[in-house]
């Protein structure tokens, strides 16, 4: 067991919360300092691009815990404060409020921030969606906008588009790839998702690049590189995220599109682990390093990371995980499990791609690599369990 007396968790979102909870659940009774950059009490992000944008939930409802709900964790929660530097030799952390915080163990869970579109700084009506404040600003903008252009057909962009349609706005999505989500779920199923949006009167422009976003003070139009001009009174940018790692510069902690971790989610620096969107770890199940920006990974990885921190590598389990995510768009639920490449073969095993109810499997070199379900929740998780066993796809296809 550990000799730690003081553990600092940096990051006030899901991975940070689950790290704090995991430490206490494992019986750690030393001091826990929990640092969150945002001023709000910790909240859940998936509802931001769904229930919050639709106006179904108020901000309060996204909170993980209500009121004084953190009392049982006996945690020193410091909100609205950033970590600015870490010195692993003296085991001390510098914060944006000027304080220094010594630690024995450190959990890095700083997540990521939304990538902005170049040249839009200071232009009103251009938003990204990462934080609660972002979601509330977009929701307010829906009220006074008629035409929205969404840049990027990733999950955030598609969910924003679906909410905007539900709120009665005219919606255009601009995507550089051949199909939405093509890199994540492959072209065939990306094409299916594209049809889902076009069937609901969304204008989805693929293989198009945004050249610039124009307007005096407030956005007026989005100009594409082929010369097309799209008038817009609201622009939402969903072109990915950047891991929050700048504060680790000079610390000796290896950073390469995320904090580099081993299979146990530990960095090469003693006493420092990482979890959630910020962590790039070696997943033994897929024999590759990956950084996964999804809810379920944050939960699972935080649990592994604190186990590794307290128990050491010999006693802890590695983070062997089949990535899982979901997306709600219109009345449709998309669920995905696995790790696929755009060239993987696709096998429809239930329903039909002509409809909005189906399950499709992916395979590469004959091995099952992933599964995607549209409005078929009963089956997806069974396949998630199977994918962990890396079977031959022929053995799981229905006969």
Partner 1 sequence: MKIIVDFDLCQSHGLCTQAVPEVFEIRDDGFLYILDESPSEALRPKLDQAVRECPTGAIRLEA
Residues that bind partner 1 (CB under 8 A): 18, 21, 25, 44, 46, 295-296, 299-300, 303, 324, 326, 328, 333, 335, 375-378, 380-382, 384-385
Asked if residue 274 lies in contact with residue 306, where contact means CB atoms within 8 angstroms, the answer is no
CB of 327 to partner 1, least distance (A): 12
Q: Which of 62, 363 has the CB closer to partner 1?
A: 62
CB of 369 to partner 1, least distance (A): 18
The DSSP-derived string for 111-166 is -EEEPPPTT-TT-BTEEE-SSHHHHHHHHHHHHT-SEEEEE--SHHHHHHHHHHHH
Q: Which of 176, 296 has the CB closer to partner 1?
A: 296
Look at the block and give the residue holding tokens 């010195």. 87
CB of 141 to partner 1, least distance (A): 27
CB of 377 to partner 1, least distance (A): 4
d(CA 234, CA 222): 10
d(CA 46, CA 91): 34
Q: Which of 161, 374 has the CB closer to partner 1?
A: 374
CB of 173 to partner 1, least distance (A): 24
CB of 265 to partner 1, least distance (A): 16
CB of 399 to partner 1, least distance (A): 19
Look at the block and give the residue holding tokens 């089956």. 379
Closest CA to 272 of 81, 87, 32: 87
The DSSP-derived string for 2-43 is ----EEEEE--SHHHHHHHHHHHHTT--SEEEEEESSSSPPB
Asked if residue 214 lies in contact with residue 233, where contact means CB atoms within 8 angstroms, the answer is no
Q: Which of 237, 285 has the CB closer to partner 1?
A: 285
Q: Which of 18, 192 has the CB closer to partner 1?
A: 18
CB of 295 to partner 1, least distance (A): 6
Q: How many of the other CB atoms lie within 10 Å of CB of 377?
A: 10
Closest CA to 195 of 353, 349, 342: 353
Look at the block and give the residue holding tokens 């009490």. 41
Q: Which of 149, 380 has the CB closer to partner 1?
A: 380
The contacts of residue 289 (CB under 8 Å, 6+ apart) are: 260, 280, 281, 282, 283
Q: Which of 127, 376 has the CB closer to partner 1?
A: 376
CB of 285 to partner 1, least distance (A): 15
Q: Which of 95, 163 has the CB closer to partner 1?
A: 163
Closest CA to 132 of 120, 143, 140: 140
Q: Which residues pair with 65 in a beta bridge?
A: none
d(CA 282, CA 8): 24
Q: Which of 215, 351 has the CB closer to partner 1?
A: 351
Structure tokens at 142: 């829906």
């Amino acid at each position: 067991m550990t000799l730690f007396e003081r553990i600092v968790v940096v990051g006030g979102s899901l991975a940070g919360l689950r790290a704090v909870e995991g430490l206490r659940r494992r019986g750690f009774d030393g001091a826990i300092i929990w640092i969150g950059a945002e001023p709000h009490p910790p909240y859940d992000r998936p509802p931001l691009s769904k229930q919050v944008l639709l106006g179904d939930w108020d901000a309060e409802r996204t909170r993980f815990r209500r009121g004084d709900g953190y009392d049982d964790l006996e945690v020193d929660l410091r909100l609205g404060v950033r970590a600015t530097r870490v010195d692993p030799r003296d085991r001390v952390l510098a914060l944006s409020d000027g304080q220094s915080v010594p630690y024995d163990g450190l959990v890095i869970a700083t997540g990521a921030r939304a990538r902005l579109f170049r040249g839009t700084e200071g232009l009103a009506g251009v938003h990204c969606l990462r934080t609660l404040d972002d979601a509330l600003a977009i929701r307010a903008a829906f009220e006074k906008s008629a035409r929205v252009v969404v840049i990027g057909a990733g999950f955030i962009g598609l969910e924003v588009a679906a909410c905007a349609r539900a709120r009665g706005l005219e919606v255009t999505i601009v995507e550089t790839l051949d199909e939405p989500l093509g890199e994540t779920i492959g072209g065939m199923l990306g094409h299916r998702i594209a049809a889902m949006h076009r069937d609901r009167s969304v204008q989805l422009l693929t293989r198009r690049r945004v050249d610039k976003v124009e307007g005096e003070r407030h956005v007026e139009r989005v100009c594409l590189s082929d010369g097309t001009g799209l008038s817009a009174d609201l622009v939402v940018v969903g072109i990915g995220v950047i891991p929050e790692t700048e504060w680790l510069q000079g610390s000796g902690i290896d950073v390469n599109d995320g904090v580099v971790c081993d299979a146990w989610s530990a960095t090469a620096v003693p006493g420092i682990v990482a979890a959630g969107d910020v962590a790039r770890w070696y997943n033994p199940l897929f024999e590759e390093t990956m950084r996964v920006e999804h809810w379920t990974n944050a939960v699972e990885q935080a649990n592994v990371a604190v186990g590794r921190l307290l128990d050491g590598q010999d006693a802890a389990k590695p983070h062997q995980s089949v990535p899982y995510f979901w997306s709600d768009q219109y009345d449709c639920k998309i669920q995905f499990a696995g790790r696929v490449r755009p060239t993987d073969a696709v096998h429809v095993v239930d329903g039909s791609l002509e409809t909005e109810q189906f399950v499709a499997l992916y395979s590469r070199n004959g091995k099952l690599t992933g599964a995607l379900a549209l409005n078929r929740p009963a089956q997806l998780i069974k396949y998630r369990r199977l994918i962990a066993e890396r079977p031959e796809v022929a053995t799981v296809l229905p006969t």
